[in-house]
Amino acid sequence: MKKVEDYIITIPDFPEKGVMFRDVTGVLDSGEGLQLSIDELYKLLSGVEYDVIAGVESRGFIFGMPLAYKAAKPFVPVRKKGKLPRETVEETYNLEYGTATIEIHKDSIRPGQRVVLIDDLMATGGTMEAAAHLIERCGGVVVKMLFLLELEGLNGRQKLSKYDVSSVVSYPGK
């Protein structure tokens, strides 16, 4: 029986020499791979009490929506600044060479709601930390962070150490 990592394509020396790029679109190219990845992510929610699933743009949408559907929970999109039409709450965070801003609708999370945050990849953890701050500023409680893939060498878990973090597949290095 295949595992999720069998569908992740490794591309050496992309985008620069020495980097092993882990391409999760191989999971999406296969119905079996996609189904397996959603099932494995869903297993990581076993025993977790939550009210809402929030996914970070854009691949957090891809994996978060089927989870929300499967669990019959609402889905909240965490978007790049300027993409949402109603009143928003935003969070700016540092990137390697600059900053980025993400936002959610102000009324998407109600005080006390338990939220699962999901994205496809944990690298440095900066985007997910910013998403958690958005949830918390709205009064929500982040009860779980899910990732399909984790790059251990970028130390994202350290940045997210105050949260319950799980990933389906982990790779050493960057």
* 59 flagged as catalytic: yes
* 157 flagged as catalytic: no
How far lies 133's CA from each of 26, 115, 143, in Å? 31, 12, 13
Query: Which candidate in 22, 59, 129, 150 is catalytic?
Result: 59
Query: Which candidate in 16, 49, 87, 96 is catalytic?
Result: 96
Do 109 and 76 touch, CB atoms closer than 8 A? yes
Closest residue by Cα to residue 39 from 8, 7, 70: 70
Active site residues per annotation: 59, 96
